[in-house]
């Protein structure tokens, strides 16, 4: 896995895009490496939350233009299908994911960050969908996720002008939750991940799934799914332990996650 690494710190898995000489640009192999690492994160029971970041001065600067420049329309479709399949796998992990955006998050990099559940950024981060300036559309979900996150007008402007924005502007429009100094970014991302990991994980994962599914459907269908998730939690030991502790004016110190 030369281009994507996985490190574990307690209950947190840190996924690092590791192609710094190319600003972590996405090509076929990087996407396949990421695909394999996501399977590992999903399978590893002691990883409860994942943080995704980049090595060097970039998160992911985009897709590999050197590779894309020679693609035929049929090859471009295959590349887009691969990228979207991997990004959908990231989005649909049962475990919560945090993008710690340390630098350039352009094109496919912005799309990668948007496939995560939460985004935090360094003040040095830059976001954008520059594809129309290269004669193409966003290809890894940018036209779909960006409007859902920042609204259609903001998404239209960013995509159609191909301009890049700083972390503070990304935060103002709702693309990023928090902006930190570079030296604070990973500590703050880990703090957030550990806060999530400290809660009852059946409830955490069901909440994530309810939010994700609700974003794709109407309100009635969404609340029907939420009701099922809510009911499922009442079959867990964590619900019984936590509510009993609450009634006794105590607090559960460690969940069983079952």
d(CA 67, CA 258): 46
Q: How many CB atoms lie within 10 A of CB 224?
A: 13
d(CA 32, CA 26): 10
Q: Is the Cβ–Cβ distance between 12 and 50 less than 8 Å?
A: yes
Give which of 82, 89, 91, 97 is closest to 32, Cα–Cα: 82
Q: Is the Cβ–Cβ distance between 127 and 75 less than 8 Å?
A: no
d(CA 94, CA 91): 9
Residue positions annotated with a catalytic role: 111, 131
Q: For the stretch 138-161, what's the b/e string if a residue is b when 16 or more beta carbons lie within 10 angstroms of its beta carbon?
A: bbbbbbebbbebbeeebbeebbee
């Amino acid at each position: 896995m030369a281009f994507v690494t996985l490190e574990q710190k307690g209950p947190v898995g840190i996924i690092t895009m590791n192609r710094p000489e190319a600003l972590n640009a996405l090509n076929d192999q990087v996407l396949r490496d990421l695909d394999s690492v996501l399977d590992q994160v999903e399978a590893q029971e002691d990883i409860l939350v994942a943080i995704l970041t980049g090595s060097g001065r970039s998160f992911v600067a985009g897709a590999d233009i050197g590779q894309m420049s020679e693609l035929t329309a049929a090859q471009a479709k295959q590349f887009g299908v691969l990228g979207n399949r991997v990004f959908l796998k990231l989005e649909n992990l049962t475990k919560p994911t945090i993008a710690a955006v340390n630098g350039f998050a352009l094109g496919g990099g912005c799309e990668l960050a948007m496939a995560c559940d939460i985004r935090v950024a360094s003040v040095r981060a830059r976001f954008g969908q520059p594809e129309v300036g290269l004669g193409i559309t966003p290809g890894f979900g940018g036209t779909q996720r960006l409007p859902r996150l920042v609204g259609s007008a903001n998404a239209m402007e960013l995509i159609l002008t191909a301009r890049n924005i700083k972390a503070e502007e990304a935060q103002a429009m709702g693309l990023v939750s928090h902006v930190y100094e570079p030296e604070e970014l990973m500590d703050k991302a880990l703090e957030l991940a550990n806060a999530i990991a400290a809660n009852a994980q059946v409830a955490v994962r069901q909440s994530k799934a309810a939010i994700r599914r609700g974003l794709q459907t109407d309100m009635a269908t969404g609340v029907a799914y939420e009701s099922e998730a809510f009911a499922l939690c009442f079959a867990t030991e964590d619900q019984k332990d936590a509510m009993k502790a609450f009634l006794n004016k105590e607090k559960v110190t460690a969940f069983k996650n079952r």
